[in-house]
Amino acid sequence: MNKKMICIACPRGCAMTVNLEGDEPVIRGNQCSRGLDYARQEILQPLRMLTTTVKTTHPDYPRLPVRLSCDIPKDSLLECMRLINRVRVDHDCLPGDVLVSGVAGELVNLIATGDLSYDA
């Protein structure tokens, strides 16, 4: 059985085919090793990055952009959104700061991607 797949690791978007007949999947069409990693993971369990925003108490900047510290299973994205939507930030922060540790399972942290400063 041949499965067609578009690699989403970079903007090039290689069109790949994955043959699942043997013990190891045979992957074709990738132009770099990231394509192999992506295809192997996609067969096992598709993972995605989640980026969104959280509320702040800042008068001028009501939203702070955030991401997770690693990719999570695709089918848990909406559940994760529900957890993140409860977060509210009321302090200064810089890109890279951990806002909540263990936001979606123990190992996944919520990271600020923007800066917020309360002293004007």
Contacts with another protein by CB under 8 A lie at: 6-8, 10-11, 13, 15, 48-53, 55, 61-63, 65, 67, 74, 77-78, 81, 95-96, 113-115
The token duo for 77 is: 């994205």
Q: What angle do CA 17, 21, 26 make, to 5 degrees?
A: 40
Using DSSP's 3-state secondary structure scheme, residue 93 falls into: strand
Q: How far is the CB of 71 from another protein (least distance, A)?
A: 10
22 vs 96, beta carbon nearer another protein: 96
Q: How far is the CB of 35 from another protein (least distance, A)?
A: 12
Q: How far is the CB of 24 from another protein (least distance, A)?
A: 24
DSSP 8-state class, residue 75: G
CA distance 102 to 64: 19
Nearest to 100 by CA among 80, 77, 74: 80
11 vs 23, beta carbon nearer another protein: 11
94 vs 107, beta carbon nearer another protein: 94
CA distance 110 to 106: 11
23 vs 96, beta carbon nearer another protein: 96
